[in-house]
Homo-oligomer: A and B are copies of this chain.
Amino acid sequence: MKNKTSLKDIANAVGVSITLVSYVLNGKGEKNRVSKNTAKKIIDVAKKLNYYPNLSARSLVTNKTRTIGLIVADIANPFFGSLARFIEDAAFSKDYTVIFCSSDENVNKFDRILNFLTTRQVDGFIIAAPEGSGDFIKKLERLKIPMVLIDRYFKELKTNFVGIDNFQSSLLATNHLINNNCKKIGTILYLSKLDHYGDRYDGYVEALNRAGLMNKIELVKRINYGNLNREMALAIKELISLNVDAIYFHTNILAQEGLKQMIILDKNILHKIKVVAFDQNPAFNFLDTFVPYVLQPVAEMANQALTILCDQIDEGKDFKLFKTCLQTELITKSADQFDI
């Protein structure tokens, strides 16, 4: 790391000006009429001296860092973990750096992260926004900072967005239970005003209404993100005491925790109560009953989000708006059965 070779070193070695070296190494040699001969010499020496550019210096001039900030709820959550992984790969191949940050669904933390990343001069953001962060998003929008929302969106804001049709997906999930003869379908979601959760809820209600299953009794349980364990245990108990024959979990973490609590109460419960979940969780493989789930095209989401973002960063300020709605799929069979 010490005594790094700079453009100057190469220039001295070859006997030309720094500018010429810069032109050649940036592929602007032709354009600036650098002779083939000199170009070759420069490239050779650069290789010999193991040159790589100082990005701080470059950023200082270009005002671009080739770095983007990714803000999710929690990188340790399997859904966001895999999303992050796909974004990492896509960014790596585009020669972009990603800084991952977890907001813990907390607006204050989110604000601090935004400041942190802004100070780091990121060129843009990919954000899975926490509840109540609308004003911060609005501010980014006003400042014309390149940004793509992912997973979560705000109905009233016109920002780039890559995600799925939560209403339809929820309809799909709920209908699966209905088609399997379930009559009392409970559901467990987060106590949150995020619109995508709202859509999932609406999809559930719509499906029940269409099937004439909407009950007077409230079979909907809303759980606090910060108090998952306790509230889930309670919710499960209550739903069971209400004699539900199915439970639809609105996220994979909810499903993971909910299933855990269900099994604690009764090992054979999944033969009595059908379950559907949003998103996959490796843990589902451990149950003796297959848990159907809504599969999001996470790789696709990651790629699209990154592509939109990078395009906007490159194109500058007058970018158009992209709202991408990807297809989900309801997985009802184990994909990798005993494969030998």
Contact = CB atoms under 8 A, between A and B. Distances in A.
Contacts of A284: 286
Interface range for A: 35 or more
B339 A52 contact: no
A119 B53 contact: yes
B340 A230 contact: yes
A192 interface: no
A100 B75 CA distance: 11
Interface string A228-264: 0110011001000000000000000000100111011
28 contacts: A1-B144, A52-B118, A52-B119, A55-B119, A56-B65, A60-B60, A75-B81, A76-B81, A78-B78, A85-B102, A88-B102, A92-B101, A95-B116, A97-B99, A229-B339, A230-B340, A233-B339, A259-B286, A260-B285, A261-B338, A263-B285, A263-B288, A264-B337, A267-B288, A281-B282, A283-B286, A286-B286, A286-B287
Contacts of A115: 52
Interface in A129-188: 143-145
A85 B75 contact: yes
A187 to B, nearest CB: 20
A280 to B, nearest CB: 12
B99 A120 contact: no
Contacts of A100: 84, 88, 98, 100
Contacts of A288: 263, 267
Contacts of A260: 285-286
A103 to B, nearest CB: 11
